[in-house]
Structure 1
């Protein structure tokens, strides 16, 4: 069977009365129970084309070959059916996902974790080169229902006897063509041959070279072949830009853009329903005319809000993907992707809300350091490179505020009430012998928030830190770097490098409460030596879930049953909540501020048994 979906027309092509396609829900596809609750919590409201085409045959037990570009939502397409049918009472791995790079392996494992939030006692374990074997061995001994790994490290565990695939029921080859390009064909075929013949196999690839066709014929049983052509054409009248910004600085970055960028009306896209309400409220508190629409808003309120946007009574709409379907407002000049979409289809739909009726439009994409791969996927799929944008500086924002203040004076001078207040001020001037300029300044203080009227200059240290982080991001996100490191992960070399880095944490000495102009606080997490954690595992987990960089970490002290970690003192509530739900070695870390003494650094070298345990 072959399924083709989508077309090559831009989202805003055609007449204004173009009918929107009927929305299919995950429930319509057969997703139910705890899995449906989890994806609702994540904020997914409707499946992407690859998900809609792939989930039903996978749930029916068929092998599947899915041909789709990176960034079309393939992870949920295979993860949701697996979770629906997984036996959590088993200890041996029941599902194995092979990914070409450590980055993708981590990303897929995190996605499984999000979708399995409401499935008790389900364990997902990523295994990849560069991470200490001790962490992975502990996870395998404890029992992992879903293993996500790179081929080289999976082979290592098979040879060591630490990974048992005899009871495997589901095998996924994610980005199979990329794995073969990187030289993993022999490893992939060996893994396939070592797994039960009764397993269900899903193979996903952007292309179908002859070697992929050969593997499909040899190892898959009557697979359903699904081809999804993404709607990847973007209108030429839309200018597309991106800006690198960490999760913690998104609101500040958005505020700067709103103050400096000239826009008529704007849609800001976020990932979840809750985020629409939260961001709209924060923007209103900063003086912007903003409202939220999402799937929970009743139709009457939706129509009223869109009517305000059309009439000019409202300037900013914060929306989810589904809530913005069918939205056609000519005065929308800008679309901001506050949360980067995980599939290119959504990106094209989103930016298609601007540039209507042949007008010019602007699309801006916020990209966190760990989301650079999604930006590249969008550029590849749309065949349109995005221009990098520098955020407006403090000087730009202050100049714009002063200009708007002057414009407000000019506008008020045309009011018919000026003569009334002129007489009052002249009387005050004569009575108190106060210069008119001082009186005008006092009136301005009454009407403006003087304390926050101008932004404070950024400290030089913060600017240097931002430049250092940008260099680190550029170096760490290079495609070749990821491939080369993963190709070299079949032996112990990458593992030794990781242990060396961990020892550097322990050798650090002396108190550190500030770094690069950032104030640090000590946080306590509920994992320690008895959980066999190492500093590198703590850094990786907290950085992934909290959107932090390595420069955001101070000293890490691992105690018998807990650990102390120095992190920025001003972590947002959103980040803290995400980190409280983070798991390391399968344990919730329950991050909280530590009320005890500052982190004490050990002296001398680590104990020998601590080093040996991670070999």
Structure 2
């Protein structure tokens, strides 16, 4: 089957030829004819199955370029996915004249979006929060909308956008065509499809496993302290083109990228703290080959589709199977092969077993590349460099006379001259690694361990623990302050909705969130103390469950006895009198005790 067999023709087919698409995937073959026929669709398919083209191509095939108000709206859960979908539309519309596509997401200035909307756009791709903002401001006209797509609908509901999505659906014409795509079919998705879709055709693409069969999955058991060296050896021996290295925290992205650059690799970090413009430049560098390694948090796991990514490394293995599937799904896409390598510490073997069970696919254990493996690879690459240089016959001829002149005047054999030139080319860094030192015998290890344990015990007894005033803060952690938002238990919000909404609009990651307390009328959220004014402005316009959150610093104030975190009544215990100033309640207790008469204790003779 070809794309022409599905009913596509003209400029759209020409664009597909340009991007190298020959045969449609299963979801495309089933969905495109149905959408071209005008029916609503509910598509159930995992990420990486080609569903973006499944809805983008029918929309472009029927687009009316003369209409300046938006004809198609695509809702995506994250700005990364929104940008990916927007880029896909632009590729498929490369031979259509005058088609304007606009990404709309939190983190981008309103000015760019407003000016584009005033000029006129045909397709809008955006996140629910920012689309709701434009609807509230009256800057987005959906009165003539013909097509609406919900991409990764289950993920949008998990992030707390259910009410926003329903509000947007209700604000659009009744005769529009709706396509809903989801990896799962929870009850909320089923209810939305029954209420807002007209006799939809349900299309399910069944897969034997959640991970692509084109991806070779391996894992390496390694301690945390050895991870950087292990990654360096893997980079030495693996024949990779582009790579994403996933870590858990944004602090580690910067640290690891810097260590890789120090080892001679072109690496960059991407996380929630990096401005959107910089993130886009970094991804473009990865696509063009100016960058080979991207060190990222899960913020890049969705919506990043780069052909050059041949390897994904889980530097920190995820704690759940879903992020694992999304991470390794960045490689092996569109029929290409890929490699996924996960670092597993001895304590994380249980996580690995759960991922294998959920994905129904075994992950093969690999061994750490040895010094000999690295040296063999280095010699092979050195040979390749020599062979490539020998092919440059014109340049070699120019150097023959120079080498012959040197040999005549210094009486040095050719092989020694070649070796000397290799030293010059290699520089100060050695070509080969030194052999690994032999491991001590068992008895020697026991003696050394006993000696080290004794030294540690002496240090604890007389040093660090003797004068340590309290627990040290975790290295690299940011100070957090409480913010108050105007949604609480009465509005049926959950912590995951708060995290999803604030992370999406403010460009935050999970590491930016501290404790979350949901009260009846409001909630308290701990966020970094150094949030910029730009981020605070974006967050103040955020909606959760359809309500404006009215984000502001929590200034405290009197608390009722029993409120979580109010421990002022402990201020009178023993030598902790300095804690009396922890709240009005502790001050009242202290005052009550001060009014009571002092009684001298009795002593037995």
Question: How does the TM-score come out when normalised to structure 2?
Answer: 0.45
Q: Which has the larger radius of gyration?
A: 2
Task: Select the structure with the greater relative contact order (CA < 8 A; seq sep ≥ 6).
Answer: 1
Question: How does the TM-score come out when normalised to structure 1?
Answer: 0.45
